[in-house]
Structure formats: C-alpha cells, structure tokens
Amino acid sequence: MSEIAAHASKVTLKINNRQIEATSGQTIFEAALANSIDIPILCHNPAIDPPVGVCRICVVEVTDGKTGKKDRAFSAACVRKVDEGLIVETQTPDVKKARHTLVQLLMADHPHNCRDKAHQEACELERLLKDFQIAPELPTLPHEKPRNQDPSAPSILVNHAACILCDRCVRACAEKTYHIIARHGKGYDAGIAFGLGEPMHTSHCVSCGACVDACPTGAITPAHDHYGVEELVPRRGDGIARPDYVSHKKNLRDRINNGEGRICHIKDLHEFDIFRHVSVKFLDQNPGCVFRRPLKKGEILFREGERAETAFYIIKDEHDPYPEETRVKLLTENPIPFGPGELVGDMSCMNLYPHTATAEVVFDCEVLEMTRNMLDLARNSMATGEYEKKYGRRALEFQLRCNTKNKENCSGVFSTLSPEFIKYLEDRITLVRCGPGQTIVQKGDEAKAFYFISFGFVKVVHPYVGGEFVVASLSPGSYFGEMELLKGITEEKKYLYTCKTVHHADLLRIEADDFELMMDKFPKIREQLVKEAKEHLEKNKKFQERAQFEVKHDPETGLEEAYSMLVLDLDKCTRCDQCVVACAETHDYNRLVRDGKTVDHYLIASACRHCHDPLCMVCHWNAIQRNPESLAVTIDPEKCVGCGQCALGCPYGNIKLFDKIHNLVSFSKFEAGINTIDLEAKATSCDLCPGYSVPNCVRACPHEAAERYSAAAFNKKREDEKQKLEQRHNKKSFWSKWFAN
C-alpha cells in the first residue's frame, strides 16, 4: 500500500465512467483495485513497496475533470495519485495498443517459453501475452552476446535473459533489509546484480527466497525445477553450490551411497523446533537443503580452517535418555560443549568464514546439516524464541570465562567474575543481531552500553568528511564501549569511535548500569580495563592525528579507498624490476607484482593499498590489523594460520599465500575450498617495510619512478601535472612571440 496521510480526505473520480470514491494519496491502481476494476500490472506488486512504474503496462488515459484537458501522455496507474474529479479510462483502443506494444517489446527480448513448460504458466509476462491475445510468433532482438545464467546458488537459479528489469526483486530484497540485489550495467548490459556483481552464491545473499516470490518472470526461480531435489543436498566442507555440478552430483551420490545420511523433506522439517516457525512457502522453495546425518562418537564434524558453508543443528529427541549430555565439542583450549537443540558452526556459515576450531562428536547423535539460506530462515524465525535466550547465555558464559582461542583479545579480564554475577548478567544481557554494515555505536553519541562480540567482526571507524577510516577490526571475543563507560578515562560519556559490523555479527549488550555495578563489585577487572583503556586512548590519539583525510570520489580512477598505494610513473620506469627485487629481498617473499591498473601514465602496482576500509581485515586469529604508527594494514605471520580469508577478502588480489615450502598457493585452489591450514600456509602482503623510513620498493628504484601515494595525494599530483601541461601549452615560446610581432 502506498503511504496514506493520517487524516486523508476523500476524493471523487471516474474510472471507466464509474463514479468512485478514493482516499487522497492513493494511486489510481489502488482505487481501481478497491472497486474491482482491472488494470493489468507487471512491475508492480501490491505486496512490494514502493511502486516504481518502470514497465508502464498499467498505463491509463487521464483527463482533468475540471479543465477537461487530457494528460499529454498516458500515466502509469501504479504511481499516479488520485485527484478530485479525475476521469480515468483504462480500456480505450489507444491504451490497449500501447500496452500491446509494450508487451511485444518486452517479449522481443525475453526467451519464449520463459524457462520451461511448467513455469510458463507462472510467467506474468507470458500470461499477459495470452490475455492480450498477441500471437506468440514474435520477432526477437538479435543477441550478439547472450545474457547468462547464474546457477551458483543451491536453491535459486538466476536467468538474466528472462529479466525484464521490473526491480521487484530489488525492492523485495530491500524490504527484507538485505539490500543484496541492485541494478547494474547500462543499455543492453543492464541487469540485476548480487552484491558487487558476483555470482549469487559468493555474494552475501542468504537465499531467503523473497526475490523468487517477487519475480514476475522466470528470471529468478527455485533451482530444484532444474537440478532436481537430490542434487541440492549440501556437501560438507567442500561447498554446496559451485558450478562444477558433475563432481557435486558424484559427491552427493557418494554421500548417500555411503549411508552418511538422507535428505530431510519439508514436511519432516516442521517437526523440529528450529524450523517450526519457518513459513512453509519458504521451505518449499528450498527443498533438499537440509541433510539428516547420524553421527558416531569420535567423528569429526568439521575441521579448523575449512570454509563453513553448512551449519549443524543437533537434533533434540523427546525420548532422549540423556538430554543434557554434550554431543559435540569444539576443540579449543577449553573445549566448548554443544548439546541437543543447539546449532554448531552457524556464524561461520552465515559469514562464509573458515571454521575457527575443529568440532568432534563426543556422543552418538543425529544432526541436521543445513545450507546458509536454511540457517538464515531458522535464525530469523527463532529470533525471539527459547533458542535466542539459550544462545545468549552460552555466548555470555563463553565470553566471560574467556573460552576463546584468541588470547590477545580476550585477555581473561572477566575470568574473575563470580558465578552469581554471571547468572545475574544472564538475565540482563541483550543479544543484538546485526546485519552487514550496520552501525552499532556512533561517534559522539551518548555511551549507554558495553558490548561483547560473540560472532562476526566489528570495525572501529574514524569518520572524516567524505569517508571513513577503519582503525581496527575487532574479532569475536573482543569488546568495546568500556573506555567511555569507565570513570576517569574520558571527560564525557560519549563514544570515541563509530563501530560497525563487517558482515553478520552477534553482540552481547550490557547496559551502562550493569557495567558500572560490575566495575564496583570487581575492582581488579576495573583496574585491568583502565590499563587497557589508557593504551587504547594512546593509540586513538595517534589515529586522530594521522587519520585526517580529504578524499574526493574520483569515478575515473576509483582509488579513493587507498591510503598508501605503490604508484609507478611509466614515463620514468625502465621496467628493471628493482622494486620487485627489493621487496623479495626484504621479506623473503615477493609481495608486489609490477602489474595492475593504469591511470594516465601511472601504474598502480599490485601491492597492498592499505585501504581506508580494508575488506581483508576479517581475521579470527587477529593476525591482520592496522599499525597505529604507519597506518599500514599488516599481517602478523606468528598469528596467521593461513586460512586465506583475508586473501579472499582483498578485492585487488594483493594478499598472497605461501605454503611451508615457500611455494605460492594458487588463488584458484584456495578459492575452490582447499584447507590451506593443512598446507601451513602464511598470508603475506605489503607492510610498508617497518624499520625503514621509506618502503624499500620506493627506496630501491634508481629511476625515481616508484612512489607511495594516498588517493588524495595522487589525485593532487595528477591535477598539478595537468595544470602544468595547460600552462605550458598556453605559454607562448620566445620564437612564437617573435614571429607574432
């Protein structure tokens, strides 16, 4: 429904010579619908707001009743608001002709028999073709470059050729607050894109199915029509939705033949607590995404470093004689137990992160292995349920007792809390679930709470005019907000930084009063936190001083994210590769490739740009952080376990992995899901050569061709150069002046 003013007045209008009454603010379509007058629609769906009027199928002829003047052009009924005395005609020959032409044009660029026979009935465009009695033998547009299909997602098939750019999926996705789907491209290349135009499976799409529901054609459809239910069963640890369907099928068959488990059908799913509240419609759209597996004691569910693409729900049985018994253990320093009715590996799966620990089965049980889309459905449906409370309590206990591998972040500060106080907190904490890029606290806002990060990553952001500079990335186990709440640290109780989530994150919120009570009761904890806070403040001061930028968006280069990029002046560079030699000599491994994007006569070499918002800074082992001195994004080889998450995150491919025998690990290999932790690989990237006044790549260049620039400095240099050239061009030489005289 469109937005209607609270005290809307009534208006009278005529539709097809019928006097009707409508509320001001309503659209013509809504008024017609309320009076059972049929206006065909395509891009509009009353269930999806707002109407956009892009397809123009709902065109109507509008005449102003007062002046008797017809509108210059037909109006789209889905967006045109009603007005007093309007005369609307929905079925004149001209209107019909316009609609017919529009349908014909859309069909000319649309595959006939939209996807398959079964779906033909569901395609609203083809239905219109039938309703308008237009001959199906239509001329088609010549397709020099056919639009492709995206079969990467396990449950949804995207056929870009069938897309009519109605934006229904975009609006449906936005309505679900995911904002994953958007328009991209121009002209014939225009289409919808997931994330940054990546395959659907690798984007942050959770496959909720809202777009499938919304799509009027066969552009976004459930994949099971095409691949068959059985082929959708997930493969553990090896990805579930890659285009290599041959190996996928083989793997699936092997798993079923080996008796690993069986597909869990939709009707069975509703028997489990976890799926009880999930809509049947959504479950219908995602068949075969849950695999029921019996597990034996000693079996490894997943291993540390494996890319998590499925999560596990330990089945709770009413007749279980040992309902409280631990079924699965996460093998960290202090093993974390999971019992019936709990999810294991869920946050890693949600964010497609590698698992941070190995999970071992300690008691025979059964699990539901589910894909990311099903996990999301389950999590959303359980958001206020018992699971949420249980999850929050466990997370709190885990955080406070510091059962984390990440000793540095979770330094055991809260390990001295008494069990009574933890119990007290358990009833007081709030579990905050955040989506990607969500702001948790804003710099300058009043500090009201203290947060623990249970899962996911939080970036600490220093905002500047026109952008944001990420000063740190907080991994699970870290906390923030304590500096502002501790007495005597800051003058005002205001947040010093903005904190945002990177991907999906779960946080535990402790209110300011409870935090103060904790500090009063446990002075040792307070002492420790004050000490840490002072260190943080010192760092903060350095960041405040250094992270001052004036960056303008430059669509030509798109380099505004770079804090320090290696720029080679190709007019000076003799291609001697001294920079590469120097890099290899300094770090044992070469961290730069003399290739990359070219801007004017400058080459932006493939070496870390130390971005303002580094997408690579998502490390469970806290190995990748920003250096407060140089502001460089550096990888600590001691902490790095070689999972490759940072390398996958870097959009410029500037992070490389080397295995234990110093061989470069092929990017395609670890992208395909091999466990690089087994290779004992280490991630490497430029660290701006700490200990040297100038990075060695720059220092070693004999031709003064290599230089490190921030985006702003680089743009300024280019502008200065252009100005100089213009001046030189405008300045008349001695001889030209002499001849002119």
Partner 1 sequence: MQIDETHRTWAVWTAALLAAAAIAFILCWIFYRREPAGGTIPGIVFGFAGYGLMAYAFLLYARKKYPTQSRIWQKRSLRWLNKGAVQTWMRGHIWLGALSYAFILFHSRGLRFGNAFTVTWVLMWSFTFVVVTGLLVAVLQTVMPRFMTVSLPMESIYNDIRVVRKKLLREANELLRPFSEKGRRESVPVLARGATAVTVTTVVSEAEADKLWNTYQGKIKPYLKLRDAFRPELSSSRTAEDVFTRLREGMPERIRPVIDKLEEICREKRDLDRQVTLHWVLHGWLLVHIPLAALVIILGAVHAIMSIHYLS
The residue ranges that bind partner 1 (CB under 8 A) are 144-145, 570-578, 581-582, 585-586, 593-595, 601, 692, 694, 696, 699-705
Q: Cβ of residue 289: shortest distance to partner 1, in angstroms?
A: 34
Structure tokens at 523: 């002075």
C-beta of 213 vs 569, nearer to partner 1: 569
Q: Cβ of residue 624: shortest distance to partner 1, in angstroms?
A: 24
C-beta of 578 vs 645, nearer to partner 1: 578
Q: Cβ of residue 689: shortest distance to partner 1, in angstroms?
A: 8
Q: Cβ of residue 250: shortest distance to partner 1, in angstroms?
A: 26
User: Are the CB atoms for 496 and 442 separated by under 8 Å?
Assistant: no
- Omega of the bond leading into 337 within 30 degrees of 0 (cis): no
Q: Cβ of residue 127: shortest distance to partner 1, in angstroms?
A: 31
C-beta of 428 vs 572, nearer to partner 1: 572
Amino acid at 460: V
Mapping DSSP to helix (H, G, I), strand (E, B) and coil, where does residue 110 land? coil
C-beta of 542 vs 699, nearer to partner 1: 699
User: Are the CB atoms for 607 and 591 separated by under 8 Å?
Assistant: yes
Q: Judging by beta carbons within 10 Å of its beta carbon (0-12, 13-18, 19+), is residue 639 exposed, middle or buried?
A: middle
C-beta of 145 vs 524, nearer to partner 1: 145
- The phi-psi region of residue 96 (left if phi > 0; otherwise alpha if psi is between -120 and 50; otherwise beta) is alpha
Q: Which of 212, 227, 215, 179 is nearest to 282 (CA)?
A: 212
Could you give the CA distance from residue 363 to residue 571 in angstroms, rounded to a whole number?
A: 68
Q: Cβ of residue 698: shortest distance to partner 1, in angstroms?
A: 9
Could you give the CA distance from residue 336 to residue 347 in angstroms, rounded to a whole number?
A: 15
C-beta of 117 vs 728, nearer to partner 1: 728
| Dihedral of the alpha carbons of 284, 123, 30, 62, in degrees to the nearest 10 | 170
User: Are the CB atoms for 667 and 638 separated by under 8 Å?
Assistant: no
Q: Cβ of residue 584: shortest distance to partner 1, in angstroms?
A: 9
- The phi-psi region of residue 164 (left if phi > 0; otherwise alpha if psi is between -120 and 50; otherwise beta) is alpha
Amino acid at 676: T
C-beta of 521 vs 717, nearer to partner 1: 717
Mapping DSSP to helix (H, G, I), strand (E, B) and coil, where does residue 333 land? coil
Q: Cβ of residue 190: shortest distance to partner 1, in angstroms?
A: 20
C-beta of 575 vs 716, nearer to partner 1: 575
Q: Cβ of residue 294: shortest distance to partner 1, in angstroms?
A: 46
C-beta of 54 vs 581, nearer to partner 1: 581
Could you give the CA distance from residue 218 to residue 157 in angstroms, rounded to a whole number?
A: 9
Could you give the CA distance from residue 170 to residue 182 in angstroms, rounded to a whole number?
A: 6
Could you give the CA distance from residue 472 to residue 457 in angstroms, rounded to a whole number?
A: 10
Relative orientation angle of helices 512-521 and 523-546, to the nearest 10 degrees: 120
Q: Cβ of residue 623: shortest distance to partner 1, in angstroms?
A: 24
Q: Which residues contact 64 (CB under 8 A, 6 or more apart)?
A: 70, 71, 83, 85, 86, 87
C-beta of 606 vs 675, nearer to partner 1: 606
